[in-house]
Amino acid sequence: MVTGFRGAVLAGVIAAVFATSFLAEPFRGGGWFWDLGNALGLLAFAGLLFQMIPVPRKRSVRRHEVLGYWVLGTAILHAFWFLAGDGTVRFYLLPGGPAHMWLGLAGLIALAVLSVLARMPDRLRVHRHYRQFRKAHRILGFVTVGMAALHVVLSGFYLPAWWQAGVLAGVLVACVSGRRYWARLAHAPAASVSGYLIIGAMACVLFLLIRDGTP
């Protein structure tokens, strides 16, 4: 479901992330294959930011968990899209490769750990108390978001201007640091898989049309 407050927040986060990439050079593209792979990466990052918005403990937690798997799947697809279709990317992961590639890989691993350790009964093997789990889960979430953000910014292709990084940082802070604000809302934004897929698909298509559909 993409309507209502939840859908508006989700759409806003996805739109903000994609819009930031258009602020400096909106028509810069690397071809449909390259741009589609990176659109998936931006979508995964936007989903991760949305996941950082707190949800009530006894409401929508299951949706939050399920969306986390879809965000992880999008991130994995982003990574393997290039590994399967662009042989040069494999050399970037060798010793001495670009820092942003290693940060992307580390962020992907951290996201996988974040998702696996949130599953029951795996969670109880590590954290017996929910409060302890929630704190550790959020700290690891901060680490994952940080590495993913550096991966996006340091790659530089879609964010060539330094101030674009500042705008993206503003979006990140609004999602991860507005905990008190989000908690006061009567209808805190809950995860929506259908919204993520529908709005994300629209964002990716628009990204390709603008990058590769203009002469």
Q: What is the pLDDT of residues 143-193, one digit of tens each?
A: 999 999 999 999 989 999 999 999 999 999 998 887 667 766 656 666 678
Contact of 49 with 171, CB cutoff 8 Å: yes
**Confidence label for 57 from pLDDT (cuts 50, 70 and 90):** low
pTM over 0.75: yes
- Residue 180 belongs to a domain with what CATH number? 1.20.120
- The sign of the torsion formed by the CA atoms of 81, 86, 90, 92 equals negative
Output the CA–CA distances (angstroms, integers) from residue 186 to 9, 107, 183, 190, 192, in the order listed: 14, 32, 8, 12, 17
- Boundaries of domain holding 140: 4-212
Count: domains in the chain: 1
Q: What is the mean pLDDT of the chain?
A: 86
pLDDT at 9: 86
Measure the CA–CA gap between 111 and 44, rounded to whole angstroms: 11
